[in-house]
Structure 1
Amino acid sequence: MAALSPRLVAAVLCLLTGVLTFPLGPDSERPATCGYESCHATKANMLNVHLVPHTHDDVGWLKTVDQYFYGDRNDIQHAGVQYILDSVVDQLLKNPDRRFIYVETAFFYRWWKQQSSSMQQTVKQLVNEGRLEFVNGGWCMSDEATTHYSAVIDQMTMGLRFLNETFGACGRPRVAWHIDPFGHAREHASMFAQMGYDGFFFGRLDYQDRDRRMRSKEQELLWRASDSLTPPMADLFTGILPNGYNPPTGFCWDQLCDDPPIRDDPDLEDYNVDDVVKRFLVIANSQAMVYKTNHIIMTMGSDFQYENANLWYKNLDKLILYVNAKQASGSRVNVLYSTPSCYLQELHRANLSWALKTDDFFPYADGAHDFWTGFFTSRPALKRYERISNSNLQTCNQLEVLGGPASRKGPFGEGDSQTLKKAMAVAQHHDAVSGTEKQHVANDYARRLAQGWQHCQVVVSNSLAALSGSSAERFYCDNLNISVCPLTESSKKFSVGVYNPLARPVSWSVRLPVNGTAYVISDPKGKPVDCEVVPVSRATRGVRRSRGFAVNELVFQVQAPPLGYSTYSVSLLQDGPPPAPTHHRTPTAIQNKFLRVTFDPDTGLLSSLSNLETEQSIKLTQNFYWYNASDGNSESNQPSGAYIFRPNSSTPFIISEFAKTETVQTSVVQEVRQWFAPWVSQVVRLYADSRALELEWTVGPLPIDDSLGKEVITRLDTSIKSSEFFYTDSNGREMLQRKKDFRPTWNLKQTEPIAGNYYPINSRAFIKDDVDQLTVVTDRSQGGGSIHNGSLEIMLHRRLLHDDARGVGEPLNEFSRIFPEGLVVRGRLLLSLDRPPAAADTHRPLAQEVVLQPLLTFTHGDPSPNTRLEFSGLQAALPPAVHLLTLTQWDPDTVLLRLEHQFQSQESKVNSQPVTVNLQKLFSTLDVLGVSELNLSANQWRDEMTRMAWTPQTDKMTSPPLKTFRGHSSTWEVTLKPMEIRTFLLRVSVR
């Protein structure tokens, strides 16, 4: 009998075990000519110099992503990515020794679609031979300080999937490459490790850190990027590049460069080969002195270079020829075309032990007064819009799956999630959500997100129609934070659909702009819901301007099931009582059954916060301040700008020592509305069932008529004895300890006492002592620090009058059509007070609710009689420790599912334990027919993922074997350990 083919065996296994085993890409077997096998030979007894031809192509910065691709607006910056790829491919074909790496899949994807089939075959051949190699491979090179891990995983998955499906195994990058981000997050290293990368290279780190590492030859290290995951799961070899990502001085041969070419005709008077070789050998040997092996790397390229690749390659060919010719006369330098993965392979072959790092690379400074900590907050409105867009995208993805094919083509037309996926992926770029782009580029990012959400609204409407049985038109109100919603402002009867993207039930406070004075609300079961009408605040009327006309807000609490929706009916009472009155006095206290908040009656400021459940209380004062942005002084001419935070004094100006107050107290919500200045106001808000105190701040337009740039903070001063420590999250996941004027890996010489103590806060930060922990959950990425014991400050808004000379070429001075006098920004901080051992049980779910907030949809009138008013996509809520990170359509019959354990080890007595989930019992409307496990980025089967093993200097033995992950899921039971994310491809059918 003939042997069964591998494909037939796979099909049989699928039927027997429910495990999917089809290949991910077109070529399931890696040819022997790409990847590590394609590397040029090196010489063991010489210094091997790995030349890496590359281009760094920002997915938007000074120009928009479209302008960069096409080469438009060269009056701003000469750059055209399509010409770079055209030229590089042409030059690679002329010499098989040449190599090139490419990074940004967003650009390559566009270029690829425009190529003929014959050109695509040519490029595939170059990839299969290892001559064109992809590194990093995400849709973009994401920022590391201001991004949330869920959005980073999504954009990496999108880019790597395209490479996998287009080129197979030879298109899969083995090296992460973040040469331009402004500091490096530990969670990024952890994610890259779990995505299967063998190594990680970057260019920027603190100048003091680099000096120390050069002296000790620790510019290459092993990064242990998780306190919870068992090594080597989150271990990642990390290399720091010698020149950022530029070529050595004097060796740039792009059309954008001024360095002289190699003139190798000996009959010419300006023949310069000997001089070039001599200078190169000096540089190579000097570089070798600060690295550990007989291999060094040189990045031969820079921003948008290789548009005329012939210039580069013609000179590099000559450089290799003439430097290596010196070996005949005793030179011990060997130069070769290479790639980061080939260089990494040689470091691995050296079989050395490497310095171990367990913290991160923030903050980043490139000089004594040049701390890149301003961008943690720059463009706060865009940062919030990106976070909301992420929440909307996850909702869109989920409903596309739960609603089935009807979600993509239904009563509301054809919709898609891809437009928003691509817009969100581009927004993760290190000059996008970071806020370090020109204003017209920031506008383009926002436009793309808005366009993507419009496409997703069709998907959401179609899906909800299919699930509910009602095709009533659904409306979306994206400006509820400023009390704008045309339907609720004008309708006497309407329905509110509340979709919850979390895998556990949530209780959510809803505020709708209305013009009536009394309403009756019923829940999905027809039961009445307690509600109140309160007047729209003066601050809200000012910030919404002419965009709405509601005089009141309807406030009520909703409940939404896991991965599902609830529908609430709202009707205006013809004759109702007037809205809750406002009082122009400061209350002594406001409280619910969980929290008590007191105020100083003389100043109107917060004075204490108490947790009534745990019987703990702290002194708490909160106010607003501004740092005067430096425009340069005798010590340094460095001003504050989009990147750099540099106040001209360590003492900020207080905006007001008193707050004018207005109070609203009802059974549903209690508010103390505070005014500090015409451009700063706040609402201290406590909902009836909330364990968190809400501070809704409104800041702007920042006045600049005094010609002073301003960086506005809010500061929380408490009685907590924090001993100069505070804690911030890393990209929304693990918490890291920070200490004032301290770095774990070198003796810091602090030169900027404020900016040098600022760190990125992606979703939360806290201070604590043995008794109390105050946690602040943010609604966007912001910068902050603990400058004084018991104090936590968060930067909210920045308006600056000078460029900081880091390339963007314009000051961070935002305005818009609605706010021509300067941008107004509104946001929320949520405060919780707990005992330190139990605090994570509160702040982790709270942070997830802010990241993935319920989506509200609206319909006119009452629901039709047969409408399904409540639905959950899950058979039961997931355990508190488990977060459903991803549910998205992959192919017509498959969905991608990610489940994560959202607690760190030893963080919670209750929730830091392994948890088991049954995938077959997960969904209420989907039958799971087959399952197979992937790596984090979904571009490899998990049991096939192998990584290089590295030995840290602190370990006596090498790391465990190369194959570090479990194989295919052979049962439906999935166990998650603390901080573990597991990714599955499910074959499903709709019930």
Structure 2
Amino acid sequence: MRTRVLRCRPFTRILAFLLLVLAFSVYCYYYSAAAYHKSSNNLPSSEDDDFKPPPPFFKEKLRQEKVIQEQCPVLKESIADIDTVSVFPSFEFQPSWLRTKEFWDRSFEERYEKTRNDSRRPRLKVIVVPHSHNDPGWLKTFEQYFEWKTKNIINNIVQKLNQYPNMTFIWTEISFLNAWWETSHPVKQKALKKLIKEGRLEITTGGWVMPDEACTHIYALIDQFIEGHHWIKTNLGITPKIGWSIDPFGHGPTVPYLLDKSGLEGAIIQRIHYAWKQWLAERQIEEFYWLPGWASKKPSLIVHNQPFDIYSIKSTCGPHPSVCLSFDFRKIPGEYSEYTAKHEEITDKNLHSKSKTLIEEYERIGSLTPHNVVLVPLGDDFRYEYDVEFDAQYINYMKMFNYINSHKELFNADVQFGTPLDYFNAMKQRHKGIPSLKGDFFVYSDIFSEGKPAYWSGYFTTRPYLKILARQFEHQLRTSEIIFTLVSNIIKQSHDRRLGGSEKRLEKYYEQLINARRNLGLFQHHDAITGTSKANVMYDYGTKLFTSLYHCIRLQELALTTIMLPDETLHAQSILQSEVEWETYGAPVKKLQVSLIDRKKVVLFNPLAERRTEVITVRSNTPHIRIYDTMSNTYVQYQISPNIDIREDGKRVISNNNFDVVFVATLPALTAVTYKLEEHMNVSHHCVVFCNNCNNQDSDKQSIFVTKKMMPGDIQLENSALKLLVNRNTGFLKQVYRKEARKKNVMEIQFGAYQSAQRHSGAYLFMPDYDSPEKNVLNSYSNWNSLQDDNIIIVSGPVSTEITTLYMPFLVHTLRIYNVDDPALLHGILVENIVDFENPPKNRETELYMRIQTDIQNGEPPEFYTDQNGFQYQKRVKVDKLGIEANYFPITTMAWIQDEDTRLTLITNHAQGAASFDPGRLEVMLDRRTLYDDFRGIGEGVVDNKQTIFQNWLLLEPTTFIRSKRDTSESFQPVHERHFRPDQKTTDYQLPSQTADFLSRSLNYPVNIYFIDTSEMVRDVQVKNYQTLVQNFPAGIHLVTMRTITDDILEQFPSSSCYMVIQRAAHSCSVGSQLEKSTSFTTKTRFNGLHIRNLTSVSLTGLKTYKSLSGLEDIEIEPVEVKTFKIRF
């Protein structure tokens, strides 16, 4: 059969060829765009001539595809050589060497002797780092320490390093360096900068303080790093390269992450559990890459762990403190201590023997590493305040250094003064196989005091009043930063001369804003937010926080007045006022009243970059009110609740002069909305009160509220999602029924306390007295047998229903649920506890907890999850071999327990300790009072407790995943035997639900409430709503801050630029319901009335510039990550 051949005309062949070329071109463009997307983390800068962004069409296509893929991304746990959760339970916590306080035993000595004779090992290289650890407050206040010690120390650094050209030094606390700079002569400033340029004085970390890592929140951590880094860049012209964190009481992965994102190369840590010290030393692991919990790009920052107990000379020259004491050459007339007892100057007679002893200790440190490079800190707390100490340390050490370096045949070592950067440079040249680690080093435990374990888990909770005040201040500072940045730049871009006065008034507040940043930064110090300073020093911290909080609120009032009141003649008057009045530090906050006469407009500002629905409560002098939303032009859901005064004689009096107006507000992102109060007579909005001992009046008027007696039996609270059962005998939650799931859960709230072990439990340490039973602290405050129902009050209305239980004056406990059309508020249970320890000696040696016992099967031994600095999340597993104090962990925003069906999340608004000792149990420590010192330095107990208001959300949610089986293997493969495999199985990284994440932000960043006060005016004031964004930020993006950058020339004045720090929140796809799906920034994402002149991607603290962006729509950020962008308006 004859084959038929398809013949085409020339025109058809040309057309087909052109179509083929077009298809190939499309493929190439798409491939290049995809490659661009995949390598976005490693893009060249915009200054690179070879850099060409992909075409807009394909960028938009990729963006749309990314939205689909990332609506609920499933993150995997990072894979590391060392997983602290798996390794820690395998330790021997009562080793034979415990009483000697030194892990260095015969096995270490034998390895040392073997390695020193190994000709293949590189020569020992020792970097001795003189340092002075200066606490910005501890036994004395910041100012007292500066005048008494620190000013002299920095002066001596400048003088003696110029005198001794071979000596080096480091400095970490920028708060102190700033205080010195402001009072020092320009000649000294110039000399200090010269030392830095020469590399002999190194600025380490660069934060405002050396922050605690357990109790701090990510906002405050970032803010104090930015403040410190910019001070360094502005005044010294450098960027820090190495972190120095030698005194925080335990370490976590958040600070290394932030340092890595800030561009640092290395970090040094010190205080970790004594068993970790031994374990790492056995395996010659001093350096590691600290991975975040979720699988992501490996950080470039290397973490170095100091191998011995503490940073003093006694513990840094080698494994034997008794030997190291003799190498501390400080000798001050009148001082007598353990090191002065062993003091011996270096002379020609003892030079050889002392050098030999010293180098042997250094060699022992070197044997703990594969690279034989040793870092030896030379200092202690507030050292070198006397110039004679500089002389003594330098002269004696240089004699030995010169002798050792000139006798290589005897010592085979290079010894020198240096800096941490010198150490990392030398180490990296020799050491390439650095392992990775994930997890953290909490709880820290030492043994150097008594030769037995002491767990530093008390400070997670110590002084909760100040921990809560600090978080409230963070919120007010963040709100002030955002409002100031937006309003000041709107005024500048308006070019309206009538607003010139307003601009100057705002600029006047900028100096106070700088002070607020620095006071918040100061409180992140590891002896401040931890509550581990003397009582008078803690009071000083508190007054600083309070003063700056006051200034922040005044700034907000001024800025919002400027932007919301069209009549510029009113801007200088105090018309817009905060609804709360902070009178003095430690005093209860007072709420101002709204009024139909002179305070009939309420302004609500939403400081979050997301739309939110909240329940707002304002105080009123009349119940005849309704609320009108001027943005949506609708009346809102509301109720009138009673104010019940609980008097000393036990009577409960319902006020006829004060009422709570509770209403529902839906607020767009970063928006200030005005709500009008109108007179309205409608008793259907009045709450019903169930109270057996409530007086219906405090005047001649009849109460407007219907008061009923309670029915017998357990008490039930209900909304459309939940049904709560409250134990009638205790007044505490007993059971929760979830209507959607049609499931009952046991959920018993209990209060109790551990009896403190005297002199072993204090500001730092937590140690219960195991010979004493747990304390039923409520027994002495209850009279349930005689007045069973008199201590319970129920208030029920159309917006909320709550039950309050009284154990006066020790505890006032409230449960509240909402009846609103919002999934998060509908499913959450708000818990409020007002705790008053009264004056000592009442409630002495008391460690008060709130315990929630459920039927959730969270394993045996139990496991639970905690947040880390409000940023990432960590699994915790009870170690049965250890006591209660070792199984308490820090939380800053939330903790949860879960099984295959249910998760219970507890959300908090401050740092506290949490634990899960038994299946189904989750408990948090509320407050602590210990009359005795725990012998960790402050020399006093903790008895300055204040009445404190605790707020938590409880959230029960269904789960759809199956909990992975725990790896019970106690074996650990040596690092050199571990190999990553492409098929290595990983588990999902556990994250909070979207509802829990929203409730956490709602609790920590509440709506700011203000009144329009027209009491001194004869006319009504026109107010316009202020909406910041044309289109909201994507649902998954949290605006950490918008922080105005100080002017380069005028130090106390703002520039037109700011740092916008954002985090992309990540949520579990297997827990609860998804409220909103993530989207990307688009071309519609822009600020209302503000033009962005320049947008640049920068390092976390802004010191390094990466690339320019054409607009907000070019922002890309991976889940959990934090990024900073510099905006010039």
Asked whether 1:352 is paired with 2:432, we answer yes
- Determine if contact 1:642/1:803 at 8 Å carries over to the other structure: yes
Query: Equivalents in 2 of 1:762, 1:552: separation in Å?
Result: 33
2:207 is matched with which residue: 138, 158, 166? 138
- Determine if contact 1:372/1:645 at 8 Å carries over to the other structure: yes
Asked whether 1:900 is paired with 2:1063, we answer yes
Describe how 1:84-99 pairs up with structure 2 within 5 A.
Answer: 84-99=153-168
Describe how 1:921-936 pairs up with structure 2 within 5 A.
Answer: 921-936=1085-1100
Q: Which structure has the larger Rg over C-alpha atoms?
A: 2
Query: Equivalents in 2 of 1:475, 1:293: separation in Å?
Result: 63
* 2:810 aligned partner: 679
Given residue 763 of structure 1, which amino acid in structure 2 is its aligned partner?
Answer: T
Query: Equivalents in 1 of 2:207, 2:1085: separation in Å?
Result: 33
Structure 1 unmatched runs, 5+: 1-8, 18-42, 72-79, 632-637, 743-748, 816-822, 943-966
Summarize deviations over 1:301-336 as a string: whole Å, max 9, x none: 111111124423443343233244245251223220
- Determine if contact 2:850/2:924 at 8 Å carries over to the other structure: yes
SS at match of 1:876: coil
* 1:849 aligned partner: 1002
Asked whether 1:113 is paired with 2:182, we answer yes
Query: Equivalents in 1 of 2:1087, 2:745: separation in Å?
Result: 44
Instruction: Mark the CA change 1:58 to 1:872 in structure 2 (over 3 Å): closer, same or farther.
Output: same
SS at match of 1:536: strand
SS at match of 1:375: coil
- Cα deviation, residue 832, structure 1: 1.0
* 2:829 aligned partner: 693
1:735 is matched with which residue: 863, 866, 873? 873
1:294 is matched with which residue: 365, 368, 372? 372
2:529 is matched with which residue: 429, 433, 437? 433
Given residue 909 of structure 2, which amino acid in structure 1 is its aligned partner?
Answer: D
* 2:993 aligned partner: 840
- Determine if contact 2:506/2:559 at 8 Å carries over to the other structure: no
* 1:29 aligned partner: none
Describe how 1:366-765 pairs up with structure 2 within 5 A.
Answer: 366-367=446-447, 368-404=452-488, 409=503, 414-416=508-510, 417-469=513-565, 471=570, 473-478=575-580, 484-488=590-594, 493-525=599-631, 526-538=633-645, 551-571=658-678, 580-584=688-692, 585=710, 588-631=715-758, 638-649=759-770, 652-656=774-778, 660-676=791-807, 678-689=809-820, 690=825, 691-701=827-837, 705=841, 708-723=844-859, 724-741=862-879, 749-750=881-882, 753-765=883-895
- Cα deviation, residue 969, structure 1: 3.5
Query: Equivalents in 1 of 2:875, 2:465: separation in Å?
Result: 28
- Determine if contact 2:158/2:188 at 8 Å carries over to the other structure: no
Query: Equivalents in 1 of 2:674, 2:355: separation in Å?
Result: 75
Query: Equivalents in 2 of 1:973, 1:768: separation in Å?
Result: 38
More off after superposition, 688-697 vs 471-480:
471-480
- Determine if contact 1:160/1:937 at 8 Å carries over to the other structure: yes
* 1:172 aligned partner: 239
Instruction: Mark the CA change 1:68 to 1:703 in structure 2 (over 3 Å): closer, same or farther.
Output: closer
Summarize deviations over 1:80-105 as a string: whole Å, max 9, x none: 11111001110010122211100011
1:311 is matched with which residue: 380, 389, 393? 389
Asked whether 1:322 is paired with 2:322, we answer no
Asked whether 1:984 is paired with 2:1121, we answer no
Provide TM-score, normalisation by structure 2: 0.74
Instruction: Mark the CA change 1:549 to 1:699 in structure 2 (over 3 Å): closer, same or farther.
Output: farther
* 2:329 aligned partner: 253
- Cα deviation, residue 868, structure 1: 3.8
- Determine if contact 2:615/2:662 at 8 Å carries over to the other structure: yes
Summarize deviations over 1:167-201 as a string: whole Å, max 9, x none: 22xx3111111100001122222212211121111
- Determine if contact 1:905/1:913 at 8 Å carries over to the other structure: no
Instruction: Mark the CA change 1:913 to 1:191 in structure 2 (over 3 Å): closer, same or farther.
Output: farther
Structure 2 unmatched runs, 5+: 1-45, 55-119, 315-323, 492-500, 693-709, 961-990, 1048-1054
Instruction: Mark the CA change 1:411 to 1:99 in structure 2 (over 3 Å): closer, same or farther.
Output: closer
Query: Equivalents in 1 of 2:943, 2:48: separation in Å?
Result: 60
Summarize deviations over 1:937-990 as a string: whole Å, max 9, x none: 211123xxxxxxxxxxxxxxxxxxxxxxxx4436641111111222111111xx
SS at match of 2:1031: coil
Query: Equivalents in 2 of 1:165, 1:323: separation in Å?
Result: 37
* 1:973 aligned partner: 1114
* 1:955 aligned partner: none
More off after superposition, 700-709 vs 836-845:
700-709
SS at match of 1:681: strand
* 1:27 aligned partner: none
SS at match of 1:93: helix
Percent identity for Structure 1 against Structure 2: 24
* 1:263 aligned partner: 345
SS at match of 2:415: strand
Instruction: Mark the CA change 1:622 to 1:264 in structure 2 (over 3 Å): closer, same or farther.
Output: closer
Query: Equivalents in 2 of 1:593, 1:479: separation in Å?
Result: 36
- Cα deviation, residue 349, structure 1: 0.9
* 1:206 aligned partner: 273
Instruction: Mark the CA change 1:537 to 1:217 in structure 2 (over 3 Å): closer, same or farther.
Output: farther
Given residue 693 of structure 1, which amino acid in structure 2 is its aligned partner?
Answer: I
Given residue 485 of structure 1, which amino acid in structure 2 is its aligned partner?
Answer: K
SS at match of 1:431: coil
Summarize deviations over 1:384-403 as a string: whole Å, max 9, x none: 00000000011100111111
* 2:146 aligned partner: 69
Instruction: Mark the CA change 1:243 to 1:583 in structure 2 (over 3 Å): closer, same or farther.
Output: closer
Instruction: Mark the CA change 1:84 to 1:539 in structure 2 (over 3 Å): closer, same or farther.
Output: farther
Query: Equivalents in 2 of 1:885, 1:598: separation in Å?
Result: 38
Query: Equivalents in 2 of 1:798, 1:542: separation in Å?
Result: 28
Larger % of helix: which?
2
SS at match of 1:119: helix
* 1:790 aligned partner: 920
Instruction: Mark the CA change 1:369 to 1:707 in structure 2 (over 3 Å): closer, same or farther.
Output: farther
SS at match of 1:403: helix
* 2:965 aligned partner: none
Asked whether 1:51 is paired with 2:110, we answer no
More off after superposition, 362-371 vs 774-783:
362-371
Asked whether 1:878 is paired with 2:1033, we answer yes
- Determine if contact 2:1093/2:1128 at 8 Å carries over to the other structure: yes
* 1:365 aligned partner: 445
Query: Equivalents in 1 of 2:642, 2:554: separation in Å?
Result: 33
Query: Equivalents in 1 of 2:663, 2:205: separation in Å?
Result: 47
Query: Equivalents in 2 of 1:292, 1:50: separation in Å?
Result: 16
Given residue 444 of structure 1, which amino acid in structure 2 is its aligned partner?
Answer: D
- Cα deviation, residue 54, structure 1: 0.7
* 1:31 aligned partner: none
Given residue 897 of structure 2, which amino acid in structure 1 is its aligned partner?
Answer: I
For the aligned residue pairs, the C-alpha RMSD in angstroms reads 3.3
* 1:186 aligned partner: 253
Given residue 140 of structure 2, which amino acid in structure 1 is its aligned partner?
Answer: K
- Determine if contact 2:273/2:446 at 8 Å carries over to the other structure: yes
Alignment length, in residue pairs? 891
Query: Equivalents in 1 of 2:1115, 2:276: separation in Å?
Result: 42
Given residue 517 of structure 1, which amino acid in structure 2 is its aligned partner?
Answer: P
Instruction: Mark the CA change 1:414 to 1:324 in structure 2 (over 3 Å): closer, same or farther.
Output: closer
- Cα deviation, residue 69, structure 1: 1.1
- Cα deviation, residue 491, structure 1: 6.7
